[in-house]
Amino acid sequence: MREFKECLDGLHMTDVNHSGLHFTWNQWPSSPTGLLKKIDRVMANDAFIESYTNAYAIFQPYRILDHTPAVLKIPCDIASKPKPFKFSNYIVNHVEFINVSSFKKLRERESIALNKYNEAVLEVENFLKQKAKIEWLRVGVSNLNYFQKVIKAKTNRRKIQTVADANGKFVEGKEVSNLFVQHYMDFLGDSKSPGPDGYSAAFFKKSWDIIGDDVTIAVQQFFINGKMLTDINSMLITLLPKVQSPSKVTDYRPISCWNVIYKSISKVITNQIKLCLEDVVNVNQSAFIPGRKISDNVLLTQ
């Protein structure tokens, strides 16, 4: 098995994005307890994943055989959706970052910075670290193409191509996004509209000397008039799988990504509320209050 794994690594073979049953082979002996294993896989090399980024596999339920049928699907008619703007943190280390006179054309500046510094290997690798979350990235131009392929492979595995609703009905293609939207509208409510500004906290910290006064005024204006722009009061929902082989809508956990200005306003409100919590919350409530622990009641009972 070790030699076989080395062979797959040498061919740059990885699992194609898949859903359905996790264990693909079963053995049912005379005893009630059976044996389940993940033996069957649908794998592809870097060239396939790069050419068919929307490919995915479905491991369907057992039928006559003791192996699950694996169906590989390659949708070719899916239109690419525009990706939300995201500020790259490594740009704040640019020597001319603070010298830019206008912050209204950050997209153009980011493009210029990328063109100027594509030859700087260390900067590009820092960018790949942020994208691929690989801590053991080594310095060297020869690694760039490999880690770019790793990013594409991770992107393919993160895509949700098919999913089942709460009743077990599977949907594919465009119906997947509609199902998630409907599910979380029922679960979270539809008062929040997606679409954050895409700027990270690193951007605000590095350029605080330029935009700090404007950000402070924006936060103060909320507490003066009690109104907030829709663009600020918006979030981006990212879906993280809770199981290894997700197949249902409920198998994904939503993570909310808010704008930095919104989080600043909420932090100010939270810090003000903390000052009076001890006066309004009964002493019997030991959780979520500074200085109190939920384990206090357990120790008291014992």
Q: Which residues contact 140 (CB under 8 A, 6 or more apart)?
A: 121
Give tens-digit pLDDT for 215-248: 898 899 899 988 888 878 887 788 888 887 777 8
Cβ(239)–Cβ(260) below 8 Å: no
Long-range contacts from 22-25, C-beta under 8 angstroms, 24+ separation: 22/59, 22/243, 22/244, 22/245, 23/68, 24/59, 24/67, 24/68, 24/70, 25/66, 25/67, 25/68
pLDDT over threshold 80, residue 118: no
What DSSP state is assigned to residue 82? P
67 pairs with which residues across the strands? 25
Say yes or no to pLDDT of 150 above 80.
Answer: no
Question: Which tokens go with 269?
Answer: 């409100």
Whether 277 is covered by a domain: the verdict is yes
Residue 285 resides in a domain = yes
Tell me, yes or no, whether 125 lies in a domain.
Answer: no
CA gap 294, 50 in Å, rounded:
50
Among the ranges given (19-23, 76-80, 111-115, 252-256), the one the predictor scored with the smallest mean pLDDT: 111-115
* Between residues 129 and 172, the one the model is more confident about: 172
pTM listed for this prediction: 0.44
**108 in helix, strand or coil?**
helix
Residue 212 covered by a domain: no
Average pLDDT (64-74) is: 88
Name which residue leads in pLDDT, 202 or 273.
273
What pLDDT shows up at residue 210?
84
Strands (E), the chain: 14-15, 18-20, 25-27, 35-37, 43-44, 56-59, 70-73, 162-164, 170-172, 193-194, 234-241, 252-258
The DSSP string of 58-70 is: EEPPP-SSSB--E
Q: Domain total for the chain?
A: 2
pLDDT in tens, 169-193: 888 877 888 888 777 666 656 444 3
On whether residue 252 sits in a domain, the answer given is no
Angle ∠(163,164,169) on CA atoms, nearest 5: 135
Torsion of CA 153, 158, 162, 164, to 10 degrees: 150
Asked if pLDDT for residue 102 goes beyond 60, the answer is no
Is residue 234 within 8 Å of 259, Cβ to Cβ?
A: yes
Last residue of a domain, one of 53, 73, 93: 73
Is 36 among the domain residues? Answer: yes
Asked, for residue 93, whether it belongs to a domain, the answer is no
CA distances from residue 151 to 80, 142, 155, 257, 265 in whole angstroms, order as listed: 17, 15, 6, 21, 35
Boundary residue ending a domain (16, 40, 73): 73
Residue given tokens 């679960």 in the structure block? 187
Q: Which whole number is the average pLDDT over 262-279?
A: 85
Counting residues of the chain whose pLDDT is more than 90, the rounded percentage is: 3
Taking only the tens place, the pLDDT of each residue in 6-52 is 898 888 888 888 888 888 888 876 556 678 888 899 999 888 888 88
258 phi and psi angles, rounded to 5 deg:
-100, 160
Which two three-digit tokens encode residue 254? 């939503």
So what's the pLDDT on residue 166?
A: 74
For the residues 269-297, what does the mean pLDDT come to? Answer: 78
Tell me which residue range forms the domain holding 46: 2-73
Task: Write down which residue in 73, 90, 122 finishes a domain.
Answer: 73
**Paired tokens of 48:** 């396939």
Q: What is the pLDDT of residue 72?
A: 92
What is the band of 101 on the pLDDT scale with cuts at 50, 70, 90?
Answer: very low
Mean of the per-residue pLDDT values of the chain: 75
Rounded to an integer, what distance in angstroms lies between the CA atom of residue 216 and that of residue 261? 9
Residue 280, domain member (yes or no):
yes
For residue 76, is pLDDT > 70? yes
